[in-house]
Structure 1
């Protein structure tokens, strides 16, 4: 076995292991909560839901367990997996395109854009349900992404990593100020906004999952397509151009994927802190800097981490629960400090 073959086999083994861990976490997410269910009950209920002719979320519940699984935990688990994958991949892409190991989607202002239009819709229209303001949050992330890319291209006509970060920081400061102003003007909007902004997969039904699924699916396809070009862009724009990469087109493709992934995930579950920042660092320990492997690893690790945080939040505060965003912040900050202290960042 050549060294290259050994590395490839190790990476494939890691992917299989991540799929297995993600499956176990999904089972735990369906089984555990304020009312825990036996594994056999979970298996029977999920099997019946998956074989339902109208789809896993559409068949009427026959028992209390059916109601818990089909209406609450199955959509919640599916949404956590989908948005966890999206946020993990987003973090890897943003760190690659900005060449900044401390970057995540918030650095480009996407979270702030989503928060601003979500808060504005709550203030103007009185929206209180996720399926009502989700489209405004997504539009906010989309418009902010377009603005960041446009502002960073002013002058020299090239959206460089530095100009992207500067434009994102400027827009983030402005949008956060506007969001705070809206929250202070309307106490009712503040009540709805503060539950969304903390980041949680609870309280979202199957409609939210189906609404964001097409955008996240397209974003994931674009991320996979952009991976080879991103490998070359990390060597520098001039080197990538000399190797035949159309730098502007490649960067636009990747940033489109970032906007779709981050916008859809943030609109659905709110801003989830630390996930997009930590996951790529953990994935690089197994994959190295190759984005063709880093992207799937980051996606699976993001889904696994978000599911585990959601389940842990249900268990530590029974019969209530802590939101997944809170749990990730509690775990994420010490973990990232440990990464910095071990000087892993110098290897990126």
Structure 2
């Protein structure tokens, strides 16, 4: 086995090299097994291109938007190692992104501000911009360049873990504006990978997956793969299905013996923004994502405002009192079955 990665990263892995915060000059490149060209576009941004020009799709895999969400970072590190070793053949155009290396190196969620609220073309960086803002601007440029080269399908998976536990341990968020055969196929695929619930949202958002869906025309998903844990404390067995699925995606193979799984479908029905420092959630810190509440329950108080559950079956997602003023502090969701039943 040729040690291809040493030509780009020396004695380090892609992740180790990225966390050194190297300045990348030019575009270091090489060719690995199966005539796949590898280019280092920027620190933490690695492009793979099958040079036989038979690449089927363009796939963006991103991790580390929040620096303390370690499981996805470990997953992508493993996948890149196996690509370089020849264990995983690359059959699609593939862009691997370690989004926020400085926060990862500091073992913190963010250095200055939440990167997953910055993927908007409306906010251009300036001399006073945070590290996250500057990095986010570069990520948007690289993502657009990548998808401009797109083949048949454009696919983006942004991998995360959540602050809280969840009724559905692994779930996906779909910011895609319309249902399509490509989206439905991805829903089926995600179910086979162990994703238990998919949340569709039409809310305006500045997340990475919303940006690539809206601006780049990709079929995009945020994948929540469990709860935040420090490096070295993740149980790899909990991510076996996801790792197997991503491996099959990259190598264009699929286990036809896998049976379709039932995936619960949800939609966003409301959001609660933090308006003042008086904002408080009205449930305990150990209340998990997708917990269901009943009509009349009070979920949040903010000065003179209260959010009161308007219909049985409303559930909570991503509650966080500690967001900045003006940012989303709580998402309200309902199952699509409940929504349809209420219309009938």
TM-score (norm 2): 0.23
TM-score (norm 1): 0.23
Q: Higher helix fraction: Structure 1 or Structure 2?
A: 1
Higher relative CO (Cα under 8 Å, sequence separation at least 6) belongs to: 1
